Amino acid sequence: MLNISELSEKSIKQILTILEEDGKISASLPGAGLIHIEDNLPYLVVYRKREDDPGTERIIISEASYLLIGNKFFEAYQRLIYALADKLSSDFKSYMVFEIYTGEPNNCFTIKAPAQKLPSSVKVLEKELNSINDIFSGLYLKAEIKDTPHRQREGDEDILSIDEAKKSGAVIVGLEIPPVFRNENNEVYPVFLRQFKDYLITCIHKALFDYVRVQTSSGVGSYLALGRKHLKEKVFEIDKALAKIERSYQFLWLVSPANIQDIKQTFFESNYEKVLDYHYRLLPIDPDLLKRELYNLKVEEIDDPAMSHIFREKREELDQQITMLSERGTSNFFYNSIRLYKGLDSKLSQEAGQILREVDEVAEEEDAEFIDAKGFSSLARREFDYFAEQDENFKSKVHIRKDVNIMMVNKGELYIPADYRMNKTEATALIQHEVGTHVLTYYNGTRQPLELLSSGLADYDPLQEGLAVMSEFLVDGLTGNRLRTLAGRVIAGSALMEGAEFPQLFRLLKMDYGFTPERAFNITSRIMQGGGFLKDIIYLKGLVQLRDHLQNGGEYEPLLAGKFGLKHTKIIEELTERKVLKTSALRPSYLLTENVTNKLNLIREGLPLSQMIT
């Protein structure tokens, strides 16, 4: 960061020159001031440093264009603001100086602005601020517009006089904020301040975008694009630290039993009665030390609303996972599993029940063409070659393992059980499930500046598995037995939540729902991992959520940009608009098939899940 110790005529010219040549500047200024401007935006958010005003400064320092006025040399700051407005108003036809300050305790936002000159922008801000009571209960705040030539805090000097503003091409707007984020002792409520700040920034951005759209020649396309494009280094430090913590253990690997083959053999030989204890792999981490490392990360210092939200969510998820690793084989593992995977609602259980009523179990054809683990590995490598044609940096591996009971992708590499066997239709579908979705989104995530988009944002699994199952449908590979298995996992999860044990679950699936012993065992053994593991419900849950997303007009391909949840789509859109994130590096091969658009349209038009099968 550039350090400017004196705001002289020379240094002001230096700032303007840097803006002219680079289009952006970040510099420290006298009296602990700061200036940060990206992409020559046609507005400047301003705050004057004050004593005994905790919290207010945090509202502006995540802005893409802001000036923090230091506690001395105010006249020099006035000259700087005049020079910025004079230059940038000529570039954009107009330039807004938007000052934020905290007023005396009351229940009112006061918008001080030339209401006749900026009618729509001021109304947008008033409307957004008045909706705050819908978000925060018990505040009873309101917003009012005050058309006055003095738009600063009472007793402060004008940033620019009205004549100076007209001469420089600037429009001055002031926003007085009620100090509801502090108590009577002037102490900040930290959690509420974060939520209040995030909401307030969105309100301000919507008003600024209206101004930019109506009054200026700037090409900003959305209010979402008004956040910072250049994230602070602290953001990347925490992103890397969270990703490193997650990489220090393989969660699914550590909760799966190492003795699954022995469990299966004993269960079948005992006529489905005897269940061996699950044996788990030794933990490669100390949970207590890892949690200490996790909560030593200063997530609370991240002022960017989108990134702060992402990090807090992820920290909570990692905390839950680490706790669960300590509780494998206990009932607490199951209770935390319910919390981690957000439980199971009646709507999902009804969807599962309907599938099992409408789709029959089909016996495997004896003359069907089957593929073993090595054959599947060859199909996977063919897909890898297709990815490498799109991006020469793409690399991945296939591992065939005897100690793996399910096919999985870990850190972008494919793991196949040594005894895996499937027919060709299922293999074609599973390639797009594991490689065309999980490997692809991992790699797309690695090409983003945020590492968490490859390891996964919090609660990303339902969308990942929804996309993966949808890909099976899009390549005509979603069989009735496969869809039944996904529904059976939900039924098993529901029964588990009602207290069913391993043999009861197995008999429920085999006798009541017609699953073969092999499929019933696979469903039961997976959901009993750790002491009760609800992860498997997310396959059908994710498919239902993705179907609803598409039926509500949502797009499909942008969901492949990394590993995130449907609840993150607005944040992903915002970060993409801000040019923090990039478009996807890889596209799956199934999007090239002729009928993919027709199939997605069928989903949008309400095709029942039971009719998605091949």
pTM reported for the whole predicted model? 0.85
In which element (H, E) is residue 601 found?
Answer: helix 596-604
* pLDDT(406) > 90: no
Query: Which pair of structure tokens corresponds to residue 275?
Result: 């269940």
Closest-CA residue to 172 (of 157, 182, 183): 157
Chain centroid offset of residue 436 CA? 21
- Confidence grade of residue 169 (pLDDT, cut at 50, 70, 90): very high
* pLDDT(404) > 80: no
For helices 305-326 and 233-247, what crossing angle results, to 10°?
A: 20
pLDDT value for 329: 94
Phi, psi (5° rounding) for residue 368? -65, 150
**Distant-in-sequence, close-in-space partners of 516: CB < 8 Å, separation ≥ 6:** 361, 510
pLDDT value for 301: 87
Q: Are 409 and 467 in contact (CB under 8 A)?
A: no
What average pLDDT is seen over the chain?
A: 93
How confident is the model over 545-557, as a mean pLDDT?
96
pLDDT value for 601: 94
Q: Which residue has the tokens 């301040």?
A: 193
What distance in Å separates the CA atoms of residue 471 and residue 588, rounded to the nearest whole number?
Answer: 9
Closest-CA residue to 422 (of 374, 383, 465, 469): 374
What distance in Å separates the CA atoms of residue 523 and residue 199, rounded to the nearest whole number?
Answer: 44
In terms of Cβ atoms closer than 10 Å to its own Cβ (0-12, 13-18, 19+), residue 58 is middle
- Confidence grade of residue 496 (pLDDT, cut at 50, 70, 90): very high
Phi, psi (5° rounding) for residue 586? -120, 145
Question: pLDDT tens digits, residue range 196-228?
Answer: 999 999 999 999 999 999 999 988 888 988 988
Question: pLDDT tens digits, residue range 424-441?
Answer: 888 999 999 999 999 999
What distance in Å separates the CA atoms of residue 277 and residue 297, rounded to the nearest whole number?
Answer: 38
What distance in Å separates the CA atoms of residue 525 and residue 590, rounded to the nearest whole number?
Answer: 32
What distance in Å separates the CA atoms of residue 311 and residue 242, rounded to the nearest whole number?
Answer: 8
> What one-character DSSP code corresponds to residue 281?
P
Q: Are 314 and 452 in contact (CB under 8 A)?
A: yes
* pLDDT(590) > 70: yes
- Confidence grade of residue 309 (pLDDT, cut at 50, 70, 90): very high
Q: Count of CB atoms within 10 A of residue 429's CB? A: 26
Query: Which pair of structure tokens corresponds to residue 544?
Result: 């239902």
Q: Are 354 and 491 in contact (CB under 8 A)?
A: no
- Confidence grade of residue 364 (pLDDT, cut at 50, 70, 90): confident
More confident residue, 96 or 261: 96
pLDDT value for 482: 92
More confident residue, 406 or 269: 269
Q: Is 322 helix (H, G, I), strand (E, B) or coil?
A: helix
How confident is the model over 251-267, as a mean pLDDT?
92
- Confidence grade of residue 555 (pLDDT, cut at 50, 70, 90): very high
Question: pLDDT tens digits, residue range 4-36?
Answer: 999 999 999 999 999 999 989 999 999 999 999
Question: pLDDT tens digits, residue range 52-101?
Answer: 999 999 999 889 999 999 998 999 999 999 999 999 999 999 999 999 99
Listed in sequence order, the DSSP H helices in 175-272 are: 190-215, 233-247, 251-255, 260-269
Chain centroid offset of residue 320 CA? 18
* pLDDT(474) > 90: yes
Q: Which amino acid is at 275?
A: V
How confident is the model over 309-333, as a mean pLDDT?
96
Q: Which residue has the tokens 């759209």?
A: 213
**Distant-in-sequence, close-in-space partners of 461: CB < 8 Å, separation ≥ 6:** 341, 535, 538, 542, 565
pLDDT value for 229: 84
Q: Would you state the torsion angle of the CA atoms of residues 584, 585, 589, 595, taken in this order, to the nearest 10 degrees?
A: 30
What distance in Å separates the CA atoms of residue 12 and residue 35, rounded to the nearest whole number?
Answer: 12
* pLDDT(419) > 90: no
pLDDT value for 405: 67
- Confidence grade of residue 410 (pLDDT, cut at 50, 70, 90): confident
How confident is the model over 379-405, as a mean pLDDT?
91
- Confidence grade of residue 253 (pLDDT, cut at 50, 70, 90): confident
Question: pLDDT tens digits, residue range 123-163?
Answer: 999 999 999 999 998 889 999 999 999 999 999 999 999 89
Closest-CA residue to 23 (of 70, 86, 91): 91
Q: 2-227 adopts what CATH topology?
A: Aminopeptidase (3.40.630)
What distance in Å separates the CA atoms of residue 431 and residue 380, rounded to the nearest whole number?
Answer: 6
Portion of the chain with pLDDT greater than 90, in percent = 83
The DSSP line for 112-168 is ES-TTTSHHHHHHHHHHHHTHHHHSTT---EEEEE--S--S-TTSPPSS-HHHHHHH
Q: Where are the domains of the chain?
A: 2-227, 259-271+342-368+424-611
